[in-house]
Amino acid sequence: MFDHHYSLFDSATSKALDALCIETQGIYGYELMTQAGQQAFSLLLARYWRAKRVAVFCGSGNNGGDGYVLARLLHQAGFQSLIYRMKPAATDDAIRAAQDAEGAGVEIHNWQSGLEIHADLVVDALLGIGLNAELRTDYLSCVREINNMNLPVLAIDVPTGVDADTGSVSPEAINADATITFITRKVGLYTGPALNVRGALYFSDLGVSSELYQRFEPMARLIQPSLPERSPDSHKGNYGRVAALGGERSMRGAIFLSSHAALKAGAGLVTAFTPDVGVTQVNEVMTAMWSEDDTLPQSDALLFGPGAGQSRWARAVFTAVQVSISPKVLDADALALLAEHLNRDEQRILTPHPGEAANLLGVSTQEVQQDRFKAVRELQNKFGGVAVLKGAGTLVCDGKQVNICDRGNAGMATAGSGDVLAGIIAALLGQGMTPMLAASQAVLLHAIAGDMAAISCSKRGLTASAITEHIPAAITSLVSGK
- Note the pLDDT tens digit of each residue in 426-435: 999 999 999 9
Same-domain check for residues 288 and 363: yes
Least confident of 67-81, 226-240, 394-408: 226-240
Report the pLDDT averaged over residues 436-463.
96
pLDDT digits (tens, 9 = 90+) for 389-409: 999 999 999 999 999 999 999
pLDDT of res. 1: 46
| Distance separating alpha carbons of residues 213 and 78, to the nearest angstrom | 37
Same-domain check for residues 93 and 213: yes
Report the pLDDT averaged over residues 341-369.
97
pLDDT of res. 465: 95
Q: Is residue 229 domain-resident?
A: no
Q: Is residue 146 domain-resident?
A: yes
Q: CATH no. for residue 313?
A: 3.40.1190.20
Same-domain check for residues 153 and 247: no
Domains held by the chain: number: 2
Report the pLDDT averaged over residues 252-261.
93
Residue, of 316 and 3, whose pLDDT is higher: 316
Q: Is residue 465 domain-resident?
A: yes
Same-domain check for residues 177 and 310: no
Residue, of 235 and 373, whose pLDDT is higher: 373
Same-domain check for residues 245 and 283: yes
Query: Quick check: 231 pLDDT over 80?
Result: no
Q: CATH no. for residue 93?
A: 3.40.50.10260
Least confident of 1-10, 105-114, 387-396: 1-10
When the pLDDT of each residue in the chain is averaged and rounded to a whole number, the result is: 94
Residue, of 331 and 253, whose pLDDT is higher: 331
Phi, psi of 220 (to 5 degrees): -160, 170
Same-domain check for residues 158 and 260: no
Beta bridge partner(s), residue 156:
180
Q: Is residue 268 domain-resident?
A: yes
pLDDT digits (tens, 9 = 90+) for 130-175: 887 788 889 999 999 999 999 999 999 999 999 999 999 988 999 9
Sequence-separated (6 or more) residues with CB below 8 Å from residue 136: none
Same-domain check for residues 109 and 253: no
Least confident of 38-47, 191-200, 282-291: 282-291
Radius of gyration of the chain (CA): 25
Could you list the residue range(s) of the whole structural domain that residue 84 is in? 4-217
